[in-house]
Every structure is written in structure tokens, then in C-alpha cells.
Chain A
Amino acid sequence: MQQTSPDFLTLIEANKRIIFKICNSYCRNMDDREDLAQEIIYQLWKSWSSFKSEYKLSTWMYRIALNVAISFYRKEQKATPTVLMGDHVIEIADENLEEGLETNLNALQQFINELNPLDRALMILYLEEKSHKEMAEIIGITSTNVATKINRIKEQLKQKFSSR
């Protein structure tokens, strides 16, 4: 069996939360989330050897993960059947969240899911507290454009939460 490079595993380990959150934001059902998580990890692995230090590792990682997620979201049919198993590539322990936290998180997740795929990517990057410069590099627009869009999304978000 092919060995997984320890460096690659470290990358996935360090970014498993963001992969999980991206999957949650672009897929509604569990099977799709699992397929998307596997697809993201596979594409990261495929590009791993060609990673150039021209960009930050996180910029590279977000570009691939979000590109794969957006392409996956746009596809009509499901991805090629992936590794068949009952287990998940990213397992989550069944821990309950506080009621208030869970309610707010569900509302936030619902807000994210209602955005178009490109604004959704921007929103995730904003919540991950990426700088405007890095967001611009990941998305491929200017920093000024990022700032304008973020302000607009923040306004919508504020309205969403104040109307609850």
C-alpha cells in the first residue's frame, strides 16, 4: 500500500477543521460531504508535489479546497464513487454543543448556505480572519473589491441576526 507522506498528513491534520467547514458549507447531505472531503484531500495530495513557495501554504490550500468545493457544488451528478466504507475520512465525535451556541451556529451556517458559491468562499475566508490581501489572492479579485464585498456581506449578516 502506498505510504502517506508525513508532511502531507501534517497538512491535512492542521487543516481538517477548515476542510470540514468547507464541506459543511457547500453540501447539504452527509454522503456529499464525505465525497467532497475525499475529493479535496485527493486534489491536495495530487498538487502537493507541485506546491511552490510563491504563495503561502494557506493560500494554496484554500485555493484548492474552495475550487474543488465550488466545482463539486456546480456538478449535477455526484462525483465518481469514492472509497467505499462506512467510516469517514474526517470523523467527528458526537459531542453536544450548548443550546445557545448551537442555535447561533445553525443560523450562521444557514446564512452561509444561502449565499452564492463565490460569496460563500469569501464569507468562509472572512470568518477564518484572513487578511484582505490573502482573500484577494485566493479569490482572484482586488483587495478593494474584497473590502466592498465583505462590507456588503457583513451588512446582510447583521440584518439576518437582528431579524431573529
Chain B
Amino acid sequence: MENIEIINLWKQYDEKLEKSLSLNQKIIAELQQQKAKNALRPARNYKILVVFIGIIYSALVAYFLYHLSPILSIFINLSVGIHLLIMIIAVGMYIRQLVLISEIDRSESILYMQQKMAKLQSSTLKVIGICFLQFPVFATWNIRLELIEKNPFAFWLIQMPVIALLTYIGIWFFNNINIKNMDKRWFRMMFYGVEWSSIIKSGKFLKEIETFEKN
């Protein structure tokens, strides 16, 4: 079949549809009302919930840190402070995602808009990467100066290597949790499950867009 015949085939189909399709105006009117009420989609609702919980949690931690810091050791203060800072950054990133979602314009060109959406979805991985940076605080909050003085070997030979290892793991995950590594075994094991599938799909689609642009 020649190209012109295929175009004609499509035209015939179009003519047939012209005769057989009709709009259900009542549904269009109902749809507009119903959808307006459902403007907040599940993904956005989930992000709003996370932001809400994140703000409450951060506020509580900040409150206790502010009131209890004079009686707590410097190591607890520092550890909780780092944890709080990372939580605030993560919540801020989620808020930024919400703003970007609300700014999505579907009348942009297909490649631009799809790329933006896929990047936005995969940016959740960045938040997870940042959260890993707080790994070392799990080994620093319980350091006590008296214990270092009393038993320096235990501190330098056990606690410090643990802190160094957790710091290394945290930085490694921060650097490596990104969509470029989605085909690696550790990544697939870590992000296995339905809740991650949309992020993995976004990554795959970003690759498809890249190939489409190049070829």
C-alpha cells in the first residue's frame, strides 16, 4: 500500500467518524464540575501530606532542640541540628515540586512538557539522596566527652570508624541515587515495588526522549 493510499484510508476513517460520532454535552458540563472538585490529584495529595507531616515533625524537633539544647551535650545538639537541617531541605524540595506541578502547562511542546514531567517525577530520588546524608548522625548523637577522655581507644578504634563508614555510605548514596543508575542491581533492589515504578518509568521515558531527540 502506498503512502497516499494510507492517507486516504485515514481520511475515509475520518469521514466515517464524522457521521457516527456525537458529543454528550451533558457529560461535558458535569465533567467540568466534577473535575474542578477533584483538582487535587492523588500524587499531589500524597506530596501535600508528606509536606504537612514534614513541617509538623520539623517544628517539633526545632521546638525541643531550642528548649533542651542548654541541657544536652554538644554532640546531641549538633546531630539533631543536622537532622533538622536535612529535614527542612527535604520538605523545601517537596514544596518546590508542588509549585512546579502547579505550573505545568500542557500547551507546551510535547518534548519540553514530557521532559519536565519526567524530570519532576524522578527528582523525588534527589530528596531520598539528601536524606541519606544524615546517616552519620546516628553514630554521633551519643558521643560523650567524658567517655572519649576515659576510653579514647574505644572512641578512635570503634566509634570513629563507624562514623566514617556511615559518612561514606551517606555520601555514596547521595551521589549515586539518581536515574542514571536505575539499571544497576543495587538500585533495582532498593527501589523495588509499585510505589517506585512511576519513578523508574520516568527515568526510562527520559532516555526515550533523549533517543528521540538525537535520532
* Interface residues, chain A, with chain B CB atoms under 8 Å away: 1-4, 9, 12-13, 16-17, 20-21, 38, 41-43, 45, 47, 50-51, 55, 60, 63-64, 66-68, 70-71, 74-76, 80, 82-83, 85, 87-93, 95, 97, 101, 104-105, 108, 116-119, 121, 127-129, 137-141, 145, 148-149, 154, 157-158, 161-162
Contacts and interface: CB of A to CB of B under 8 A. Distances in A.
A82 B41 CA distance: 12
Interface in B193-210: 194, 197-198, 201-202, 205, 208-209
A85 B31 CA distance: 11
B34 A67 contact: no
Interface of B: 1-3, 6-7, 9-10, 12-14, 16-25, 27-36, 38, 41-42, 105-114, 117, 194, 197-198, 201-202, 205, 208-209, 212-213, 215
Contact of A70 (B10, B21, B27, B114): B114
Question: Which 3 A/B pairs are nearest by Cβ-Cβ distance?
Answer: A140-B109, A140-B111, A161-B1
28 contacts: A2-B32, A4-B29, A12-B28, A13-B23, A16-B21, A17-B14, A21-B17, A42-B31, A63-B107, A70-B110, A74-B201, A80-B41, A82-B31, A83-B27, A89-B24, A89-B31, A91-B22, A93-B19, A93-B20, A104-B1, A108-B9, A118-B212, A127-B6, A127-B7, A138-B109, A140-B111, A141-B111, A161-B1
Contact of B21 (A20, A117, A149): A20
Contacts of A157: 3, 6
Contacts of A68: 106
A111 to B, nearest CB: 9
Contacts of A9: 23, 25, 28
A161 B141 CA distance: 70
Contacts of A140: 108-112
B32 A85 contact: no
B28 A116 contact: no
A115 to B, nearest CB: 11
B3 A1 contact: no
B38 A43 contact: no
A116 B212 CA distance: 10
B17 A76 contact: no
A47 B23 contact: no
Given A76-B197, A82-B35, A89 B111 contact: no
Contacts of A91: 21-24
A16 to B, nearest CB: 5
B110 A71 contact: no
A21 B114 CA distance: 21
B113 A108 contact: no
Residue of A66, A105, A118, A138 most packed against chain B (CB within 10 A): A118
Contact of B16 (A1, A76, A97, A148): A97
B106 A67 contact: yes
A93 B22 contact: yes
Nearest to B200: A76
Contacts of B17: 17, 20-21, 92
Contacts of A42: 31-32, 35
